[in-house]
Every structure is written in C-alpha cells, then in structure tokens.
Amino acid sequence: MNLGNRVHKLEFQIPVRRVSAAVPNDPVAFARGFLAGAFGVDDLDRTNPNHTGWLAQMSAFLQTLEPDHQAWLRLVHERHSGAYPGQILLPASDEQVLEALDVVMRRG
C-alpha cells in the first residue's frame, strides 16, 4: 500500500466536524474567545492553518505563565536586567495577562 492510499483511507476515518459555535477569524478575538469559553477545540477547523497556528501560539504563551518558566525568567532577569523585556512576570492582573496575550497574538 503506498502513502497516497494510506492517506486516502485515513481521511475517511476522521470524524465529521460538528461546529457548535462560530470561531472568530481574528487572532486576538480567537484567543479571548477561546479563554472565555465561547468555543472549544471541537469547534476548530483542523484544516484551517489560522486555527491550528493560533491555538499553538496561545498555548505557548500560556506555558510562559507556568511556575517553572516564571522561576527561570526571574533568574534571568536577576542576572541580566535587560533580558526578555516584553515577558510578563506574575503576579499580574488578569487584564495585564490579557493585554500581553493580545500583543503576542497580533505579533503572530
């Protein structure tokens, strides 16, 4: 069986996408809507490069808020005061986190 036949066979195994909510076509609205629960992963079009790219971008940003990354970032800031100037350090307000996320999503 060649690769083309395998891919064709797999295409029939992919479940039909059942959209329950409209997904925005703007990166900032996408991130804010996803975090607010306006739509979920099941609503995304996996063939849309914007949806998959924006989800990965948003996920990468949220990982920078994890305690391990925050500890590393604080250490870098102590050793090199000008390093990573745009990074957000916790504790930060929800609005500060959303503003930082907006910047990341606009930047692409």
What is the block-wise mean pLDDT of the chain (108 residues), using blocks of 10 residues?
77 68 91 93 86 93 93 92 83 90 90
Tell me, what's the pLDDT at 59?
Answer: 94
Tell me, what's the pLDDT at 7?
Answer: 78
Tell me, what's the pLDDT at 86?
Answer: 73
- The whole-model pTM stands at 0.72
Tell me, what's the pLDDT at 16?
Answer: 64
d(CA 61, CA 59): 5
